[in-house]
Amino acid sequence: MTLQRPSRRRFVAALGVGAVGALAGCSGDSSPTNSSLERSDDEWPVAHGTPTNVGYSRARNTPRSDPKLAEWKLWVIARSESVIEKETVQHGRVSSPVVADGTVFVATGLPGRRPDGDGALVALDATTGEPEWSVRLPDGGSGTPAVADGLAFVGSNDRALTAFDAASGDVRWRTTTGAPVGTPAVAGAHVYVGDREGSVHAFRRTDGTLRWRYGQRPLKSFFSHKRWRIRAKPAVTEDTVYVTTGIGFDDTTETRAGNLLALSRSGGDERWRYEYRPRYGSHDLPRAPVVADGTVYVGQSILHAVDAADGSKRWRFNSGYETVSAPAVRDGTVYVSSKNVYALSADDGTERWRFVNLSKDSYRDESRVPMESAPVVANGTVYVGAGALDASSGKRLWGNVGNREDDDFFSDLSDANAVVEGPAVTDGAVFVATQYGAIRRATRGDE
């Protein structure tokens, strides 16, 4: 299958260009330097902001009250009285936005309710929202893009990971794996990514050469229906790659158990694993792991805090809801979404405050739309959903933290929720995407 050359000023690619194959094998690579905060405040180049996924930005010019709002729609969703048609999104789910060099990147066609077809990697001007280019992703995108050194990396459901030129959309390299990959992490000289068969790959960033691969599926499992699935972005520190895995079966989307793996960054060897089970069967895969101050946080239906050195349990937080977001961590506080938004002590998981989400859901008996989008902390503010809370008190500052019937941005469709990997925060703007294809840009109202 060939990829498509990008089209400028429109959203459907048309000119063909051949795929570039990547070599698989060992590489004598450079030292594993980490750049968890080595980025401009004007950029948010990967999901959750850094290789360690801490969800923190040093930006100080972000809106804390009465922001100016601009909305960009990738497409217009078809409205219908039919519940079935309402729940079918025209172009598939949208990834979280990432921002680099004045451009916003999103992938479309992510797994979820969608018609069969392709997706796209879309590049938008970060100030005006005007499309700069788009390129087809065969069978749809499979995770949020990542941008580093002029390359945009993104997976697609045809089992490919492709590096595009971030300025033009031209293909620089392309490699395939045994299953569609999730959201990539970029640190040092490599791109780290997990796939839907439970394998973890480290590819050389410049040309896609495979440095190492870790497969956690044992040989005997090939004769069973048990499956290991990775979709969330890995977390990468100076010497370790942390990965979350959901374990289920072929005949169901339910996740019966989860693993948090710690792998050697240099060779992919397993150092330890932390095994856990959802509070009850979950249809969501575990969220991205977050590493901060010697602790790894991982959420599915319960938020677990695990010692980063040996994988021992430190504490757990149970909100009572079936899904927990990837948290943001800053100054000894863990911020997490699980229907409501919570601030927890990083020392022991005790609750410091909560913002109660009172939004209605016409399809659920509990009459509440869950907030599952990952938060981001910047400028004393927690940005979550399409709104902002004060980081010290949880007081609502602006916007809608959760969904409301009278909101033009959100709706009563589950696919209209904010995307789960959270907003992108730069020094001057906050970018939020919904799963059905709208992007909102919030800037300070006094400018």
The three-class DSSP label of residue 254 is coil
In this structure, is residue 28 part of a structural domain? no
In this structure, is residue 50 part of a structural domain? no
Full residue range of the structural domain in which residue 339 is found: 67-444
For residue 116, give Cα distances in angstroms to 86, 113, 304.
Answer: 16, 10, 36
User: Which amino acid makes up residue 374?
Assistant: A
User: Which amino acid makes up residue 334?
Assistant: V
Whose tokens are 């394998």? That residue is: 199
Q: Is 226 exposed, middle or buried (0-12, 13-18, 19+ CB in 10 A)?
A: middle
In this structure, is residue 351 part of a structural domain? yes
Whose tokens are 């970029």? That residue is: 186
Looking at the structure of the chain, the number of domains it has is: 1
Q: How far out from the chain centre does Cα 84 lie?
A: 27
pLDDT score for 299: 86
Token representation of residue 355:
């913002």
Instruction: State how far the Cα of 394 lies from the Cα of 384, in Å rounded to an integer.
Output: 11
Q: Where are the alpha helices (DSSP H) in 284-355?
A: none
Q: What CATH number corresponds to the domain at position 311?
A: 2.130.10.10
pLDDT tens series, the chain, 447 aa:
333 434 443 333 322 222 333 333 343 344 344 444 456 778 999 999 999 999 999 999 999 998 999 989 887 655 444 444 444 445 578 999 999 999 999 999 887 655 567 889 999 999 999 999 999 999 999 999 999 999 999 999 999 999 999 999 999 999 999 999 999 999 999 999 999 889 999 999 999 999 999 997 665 555 556 777 888 999 999 999 999 988 776 655 566 778 899 999 999 999 999 998 766 555 677 899 999 999 999 988 899 999 999 999 999 999 887 788 999 999 999 999 988 899 999 999 999 999 988 765 444 444 445 678 999 999 999 999 888 999 999 999 998 776 555 554 454 455 567 888 999 999 999 999 987 788 999 999 875
pLDDT score for 144: 96
In this structure, is residue 27 part of a structural domain? no
In this structure, is residue 293 part of a structural domain? yes
pLDDT score for 190: 97
DSSP bridge pairs for 3:
17
The three-class DSSP label of residue 219 is helix
DSSP H or E run through 85: helix 83-86
In this structure, is residue 9 part of a structural domain? no
Whole-structure pTM value: 0.86
What contacts 186, CB < 8 A, 6 or more positions away?
A: 45, 46, 51, 146, 147, 148, 153, 192, 205
Instruction: State how far the Cα of 369 lies from the Cα of 363, in Å rounded to an integer.
Output: 9
Instruction: State how far the Cα of 317 lies from the Cα of 297, in Å rounded to an integer.
Output: 11
In this structure, is residue 419 part of a structural domain? yes
In this structure, is residue 159 part of a structural domain? yes
